[in-house]
Chains A and B, each alone.
Chain A
């Protein structure tokens, strides 16, 4: 296990370094480089040269990358072009709100998906199981925004139960103070997760139903229901929940859409606004943070899987 851990952590570090190279390259791929971005299209060549000298942009590219890494390690992601604030400060303000929204969506989704998956496995290959599977693929093929629009049409416009605007406010408390306005964004974000995790759960339950211990339990006269509830579900839950570690990029993608639809003041909305104003420090800062979260998430999931199932450790990383 120690060897597995060392290799896996080392791998994550290498991948993170490659990610910083990609993001650094993107920053320099901008037409005219970062100088054009800050000074605007009207800047004269002299102004650009002066800016480049002041920012150290006239130095060799690897020196610049080294300085960039140095600033990253100190948590310095640069200054926003348009919002007049450090990117790290913007992220610190927005991330908790995005986490609140995605965690609420995920909890709601799992409460539906996990029982659904077990139920499908218990009724495997029946008409209901096939119907649920086809439905899951259709939900999976449905853009999050289309689901959101339907929900707005039905529950905000036709039957005005919930507002179609997410709670506003700078503090996390302001958002929690208006739970009614959270309903539509949370439900919209939950759909895709239900489709994905009911499939994982069904598959994990089926695998476990075929295991020797399940057969032993049946041979001892345990009822099928008890085998399922007492033995199989327990063993299936852990690997499925660790899958959440691999699911981080999908969650951020979903929150980008949900937040921009419902004007929810999180990281996704910040990113969307930055894309429209070409605010590159914000765009690339968000990309970097999400990429690192993804690398860490999949590393933790791999480690969790290895802890649960020793067979995983022997597989070369």
Chain B
């Protein structure tokens, strides 16, 4: 769901001057960029969690081999621990632990690719709009406003109703509905960058607009882009989960963490917690981790205070 993120609007939380006393400590020398990232412990933890989840999803199936294509009704609805299934089986007999691994592949691949695609489209659109300015900018940004007015989740369900959703199609559609926020951010950056001396000099000595955008505007907006791309990935993974939970995502036997919960309400009634908690917790872990990493990158690139 696109919307303003609470964690970013509150970015400028320098402590207000407390009444009475001033802190007596000398401000520490600012470390290198990397140290600024590692100082954010939640960000480092997030990076570790993402790494573990990648190993779990992509290397896991090599070690823990299960059939995630053919259903096996004879082995359906087993509880955790039964018959060599550490996390039990679902209502058509898929081993839940193995299913979490292949589902993780779908969630992570779609999330990363859609986040990257959205960042590329948004950067190009925003850089051109901000650099050219004037009428072109006004028209391009009204298109962005109109796009933002249509909630992505609704648009995705319409797209799923038009074509059968598979992984490439979901990446494409999610990229196409999520580039609007990065476009706004990069445009704001481009507006200020284009008046810098080095851009003006380039133009004065006859450099092309294209060169100004590709060589100066975009590279200088890279910090903003990286931070935003990380949040985009978090949002994309969440969005995939929503679409799949609503039954309009990738179709069986393919699955993702959201799709594993699409029958969640009936699982909840039957008390089958092992069919709900593991998949849900993994979604929360990966999305929160990307959000924490984004916070760390924001410290690192010092783009604090910029709303996306």
Q: Do A and B come from one complex?
A: yes
Least CB separation from B279: chain A residue: A146
Q: Does B258 contact A (CB under 8 A)?
A: yes
Chain B residues with CB under 8 A of A260: 246
Binds B, one of A41-49, A51-59, A152-160, A168-176: A152-160
Q: How many A-B residue pairs have CB under 8 A?
A: 203
> In the bound complex, do residue B17 and residue A215 qualify as a contact, i.e. CB atoms below 8 Å apart?
yes
Chain B residues with CB under 8 A of A152: 265, 268-269
Chain A residues with CB under 8 A of B264: 145, 149
Expressed in whole angstroms, the Cα–Cα distance for A161 and B148 within the complex equals: 40
Query: What is the distance, in angstroms, from A260's C-beta to the closest C-beta of chain B?
Result: 6
Assuming A203-B12, A218-B19, is B161 touching A283 (CB within 8 A)? yes
Chain B residues with CB under 8 A of A250: 1, 3, 151
Tell me whether chain A's interface is mostly helix, strand or loop, or mixed.
helix
> Residues 1-31 of chain B: 1 if any A CB is under 8 Å from the residue's CB, otherwise 0?
1111111011011111101000000000000
Q: For residues 11 through 47 of chain A, which have their beta carbon under 8 Å from a beta carbon of chain B?
A: 11, 14-16, 18-19, 22-23, 26, 29-31
Q: Does B241 contact A (CB under 8 A)?
A: yes
Q: Does B146 contact A (CB under 8 A)?
A: yes
Chain B residues with CB under 8 A of A97: none
Least CB separation from B271: chain A residue: A157
Q: Does A307 contact B (CB under 8 A)?
A: no
> In the bound complex, do residue B280 and residue A146 qualify as a contact, i.e. CB atoms below 8 Å apart?
yes
> In the bound complex, do residue A138 and residue B158 qualify as a contact, i.e. CB atoms below 8 Å apart?
no
> In the bound complex, do residue B7 and residue A284 qualify as a contact, i.e. CB atoms below 8 Å apart?
no
Chain A's interface size range is 35 or more
Q: For residues 59 through 101 of chain B, which have their beta carbon under 8 Å from a beta carbon of chain A?
A: none
> In the bound complex, do residue B269 and residue A164 qualify as a contact, i.e. CB atoms below 8 Å apart?
yes
Chain B's interface size range is 35 or more
> In the bound complex, do residue B1 and residue A249 qualify as a contact, i.e. CB atoms below 8 Å apart?
yes
Q: Does A125 contact B (CB under 8 A)?
A: yes
Chain B residues with CB under 8 A of A143: 238, 241-242, 245, 258, 280, 283-284
Least CB separation from B5: chain A residue: A140
> In the bound complex, do residue A138 and residue B284 qualify as a contact, i.e. CB atoms below 8 Å apart?
yes
Expressed in whole angstroms, the Cα–Cα distance for A210 and B17 within the complex equals: 6
Q: Does B149 contact A (CB under 8 A)?
A: yes
Tell me whether chain B's interface is mostly helix, strand or loop, or mixed.
helix
Q: Does A308 contact B (CB under 8 A)?
A: no
> In the bound complex, do residue B6 and residue A149 qualify as a contact, i.e. CB atoms below 8 Å apart?
no
> In the bound complex, do residue A164 and residue B13 qualify as a contact, i.e. CB atoms below 8 Å apart?
no
Q: Does B150 contact A (CB under 8 A)?
A: yes
Q: For residues 181 through 236 of chain A, which have their beta carbon under 8 Å from a beta carbon of chain B?
A: 195-200, 202-203, 206-207, 209-210, 214-215, 218, 224
Q: Does B123 contact A (CB under 8 A)?
A: no
Q: For residues 271 through 298 of chain B, which have their beta carbon under 8 Å from a beta carbon of chain A?
A: 271, 273, 276, 280, 283-284, 287-288, 291-292
Task: List chain A positions with a Cβ less than 8 A from chain B.
Answer: 11, 14-16, 18-19, 22-23, 26, 29-31, 124-125, 133-134, 136-138, 140-146, 149-150, 152-153, 156-158, 164, 195-200, 202-203, 206-207, 209-210, 214-215, 218, 224, 243, 246-247, 249-250, 252-254, 256-257, 260-261, 271-272, 274-276, 278, 280, 283-284, 286-287, 290-292, 294-295, 298
Task: List chain B positions with a Cβ less than 8 A from chain A.
Answer: 1-7, 9-10, 12-17, 19, 42, 142-143, 145-155, 157-158, 160-163, 234, 238, 241-242, 245-248, 258, 261, 264-265, 267-269, 271, 273, 276, 280, 283-284, 287-288, 291-292
- Would you give 25 A-B contacts (Cβ < 8 Å), ordered by A? A14-B142, A18-B142, A18-B145, A133-B7, A137-B7, A137-B288, A137-B291, A138-B288, A140-B6, A141-B284, A141-B291, A143-B242, A145-B245, A146-B280, A153-B271, A200-B9, A203-B13, A249-B2, A250-B1, A250-B151, A253-B1, A253-B151, A287-B154, A294-B149, A295-B149
